[in-house]
Structure 1
Amino acid sequence: MSQIQVYDYAMTSEENSSVLRILSIDDDQLDRMRLRSICRKAGLSVEFTEAADLDEVRDRLKIQPYDLVFIDHHLGMHTGLDALRILQSHEEQLNAIPIMLTSAVEYKVAVEAMRRGCADYIVKDDLSVDSLIKSITSAIERRALYSALADARASEAELKDIFKRFMSGCGPEMREVLRRSMSSVRAVKTQARSDENVDVTLLSNLSLFERSAKDLVVFMDDLETVVGDSRRVTVNELRSRI
């Protein structure tokens, strides 16, 4: 196993606070050197760590959390997907953004890597300052989008749980109150219509209350449907039901 190599380009303490911690996983030393050189040419403030095989990957992941992890698909007897799986199983690397490096003929590999969690991929033959910056930018933006979607789904789950507690808690009592209120309103309206001196405004207000109570019953029926629905319900769908 090779000695751990970390390159920080003699950054000051102020620069180090915003440094990108990069892990390069590649069994070809020349390719690792090339990636490190392009990072430097791109003007990135980086702390660059290298790993040549899966054993070294496991060791490097214990050192510190990384911001970006570049993974070559070809790793001797293993593949970049094996390294990706190790990265994703490491609790301290949950925020690390993986980017797969492939050859020009391995687009299926790139698609599979993206499907399994890579934020982006770079064709090795096209690796340059421009392609590196573009890939890093796209990967960070894509990760931010995924994070926002995850937060939205968590909010929807929390909202659904609130509805469930409401329906199982005060829902039955509220239905009974509405039933009795609507029954009383109908009785009052029937009696009021036989009185020639009844205030028309009173009848109008009673009808308005009755319609509102019916709408509330329908809304509670919809909530029961949402709570009982096994599929995930989006906020927009819930609003359309209301």
Structure 2
Amino acid sequence: MSRGLAWAFQSACDQAFEDFARGTGYTALSAGVGRYDLLADRLDRIFSCGDFEVAEGMESVGLDVLYEGLTDQARRTMPVIKAGTVVRSNLHGSNGWALRGFRFITHSYRLGDVASIDWTHASKTLQAVSRQTPATFIPMTLLDEILDEEQRADLAAQDALPTVGMPTLVLVHALDRDTSERELAIGHSRYNEDSTVPWHWHEDLLGGPAPERSSRTVPYAPAPSQDAPDVSLRLRRSGAAEQAN
């Protein structure tokens, strides 16, 4: 699955640079919203969700639909992931996808600061996700039973945090519009009100070489057999917090 996440992000960034170039007058806000939509679109394509959901009795959506609007590079490198492996699982308005009993949601952040995110100033949904317990990765639904007295008093002054119905990771992405530098990481966020590490663990998804070609036949040919889908991703459920470098 890690290749699929990386492909979706790279494709979304490439398209955003073309559609929301500085010279056309788009602001950083416009470009950011555009990339948010593009990333969701690309993730739906790679996972056969949303507008790209596979009809009953079919192995894949037609390639004319799947490839519409994509660059030649995106078509050539798009990994094959079997339809149904990942399903849509939004969380309180945040785009989300789920597989094998856990979910991930997306979050945009500043380039170079992914390892130092302050979750205490994030949205209520991201705060709730970061409060999931590290040892068993049990979703937090009963805050008063889990938090100590000081934390309960702190929460009493805030709006109630939303519940998190299943173990949820965060897919953090960052892009520099001037240099085209990019970051993409997935991990188990940690509510860092102690101003220390913001992750129990997180993993860089752009560290390996980019594939030159996928196993999919192009252009506009029937999809190949998907007997060996690319769905590998390590899910850590315990362990010490990652040390900041």
Relative to the length of structure 2, the TM-score reads: 0.29
Q: Which has the higher helix share?
A: 1
Q: Which has the higher contact order (CA 8 A, sep 6+)?
A: 2
Relative to the length of structure 1, the TM-score reads: 0.29
Bigger Rg, structure 1 or 2: 1
